[in-house]
Amino acid sequence: MSEAPRIVLLPGDGIGPEIVAATRRVLEALGEFEFDGRLMGGCSIDEHGTALTDEVLDACRAADAVLLGAVGGPKWDTTDPEAPRPEQGLLGLRKGMGLYANLRPVRPSPALVAASPLREERIAGTDLLVVRELTGGIYFGDSGRDGDAAHDTCEYSVAEIERIARVGFESARHRAEGSGRAPRVTSVDKANVLETSRLWREVVGRVAPDYPDVELDHLLVDNAAMQLVSRPAEFDVIVTENLFGDILSDESAMLTGSLGMLPSASLGAEGEPGLFEPVHGSAPDVAGQGIANPLATFLSAAMLLRHGLERADDAVRIESAVDAVLERGLRTPDLAAAGESPVGTDEMTAAVLSELAA
Ligand code: NAD
């Protein structure tokens, strides 16, 4: 790694450019970085006729980390199956960068627990991480039509399960460091019905002895979906396959009630760059008005520092600064309750920058 880490910025569409520009300022407040801004998504379709060019993919592969805003918008919505679509850029990045693990932390800021659809006493203390397998399972298996029948095949290999299990155990270990609490992994499957799930459970169990400090339990996916809303604070790390992870990570995201606050990371092989992005989309309805909430992208930059550059201290600085501005009562319109006067993207960014400088 060169002296200044190289970060490819993919602002994308809609509010993407606004929130990524704000995040660049936050990163610059923490040290030296070499930024390389590139087109991906709808903006790349307009310029090059494709959502992701080979040149941009190569730049991403060669970087230390990639920070993405969001892609898509009504301009590129089409029913023409031949027309390029912004999301193809995301899929191309996942595939081209070999990103097989998606990490979504859910930790409602103490100042925002009232925004949760759950009662405050249920959501209070929630701090969980969903680790989803991203490149296997039913989304990538054989599928097709035969007359009036259709099929989708779910397949997993031992190697695919083992590597994502290790991400789960390692993440649990890292999260517990210095906290004094025992790390825990909950592996989610449907082992009472599915053969792939039985293999999943077997392999996760086989990997577990390599992490004797991490407690492991198994939960069936239907039970996990219920437990997430009834006792979310009792989860630590949830590790699960692609389809279950897709659903459970969205369910977990809604626990906070604040879409504009949720970061994510997609990781590939050890030493390869990861992709860091907010969970929300390009919010075309608020784009260009200076009112986008940049906090999920700031928190994605924190994940970039922690998981992509091994700078956990800087990650904590961003997370603490975000908590502090919310504690002070600053809210972008998407977070503001009735009667609260909201601030715009610039004012929110300036407040976080001043916390970082304090
Ligand atoms: P969305 O997340 O963009 O917006 C949902 C609602 O939340 C909107 O009312 C929006 O204004 C609000 N919102 C979301 N993030 C916000 C923020 N940071 N600040 C303020 N308000 C915010 O979801 P959508 O409306 O379903 O999708 C819009 C576009 O984004 C679509 O083209 C969709 O395909 C795309 N999308 C992209 C990604 C991605 O790039 N990873 C993810 C989801 C959706």
Is residue 350 over pLDDT 70?
yes
User: Which single residue is written with the structure tokens 């029948």?
Assistant: 149
- Cα→Cα distances 210→170, 185, 206, 289, Å: 10, 13, 8, 51
pLDDT band at 109 (very low <50, low <70, confident <90, very high): confident
- Report pLDDT for 46: 98
**β-pairing, 237-240 with 215-220?**
unpaired
CA of 73 to the centre of ligand 1 (A): 9
Helix ranges restricted to H, 29-154: 42-48, 54-62, 87-96, 120-123
What sign has the CA pseudo-torsion 59, 61, 63, 68? Answer: positive
Measured in Å, residue 220 CA sits from the centre of ligand 1 at 31
pLDDT at 1 over 60: no
Residue ID of nearest Cα to ligand 1 atom 24: 281
Active centre residues (catalytic) = 139, 190, 222, 246, 250
Tokens 């081209």 — which residue?
96
The pLDDT, as a whole number, for residue 2 is 52
Which strand (E) or helix (H) includes residue 143?
strand 143-146
Question: CB–CB of 284/14 below 8 Å?
Answer: yes
The verdict on pTM exceeding 0.85 is: yes
Between 193 and 252, the more confident residue is 193
The phi, psi pair for 185, rounded to 5°, reads -115, 130
Q: Whose CA is nearest to atom 12 of ligand 1?
A: 283
Instruction: Say which range, 88-92, 114-118, 224-228, 231-235, has the weakest mean pLDDT.
Output: 114-118
Q: Ligand 1: distance of its center to the CA of 72 in Å?
A: 9
Q: Of the residues 76, 280, 293, 297, which should be mutated to test ligand 1's pocket, given the most ligand atoms within 8 Å of the CB?
A: 280
| Alpha helix ranges (H) inside the chain | 16-28, 42-48, 54-62, 87-96, 120-123, 158-176, 195-207, 221-230, 242-256, 295-303, 312-327, 345-357
pLDDT of residue 289: 98
**Substitution candidate for ligand 1 out of 23, 67, 258, 282 with most atoms within 8 A of CB:** 282
CA–centroid distance, residue 260 to ligand 1 (Å): 9
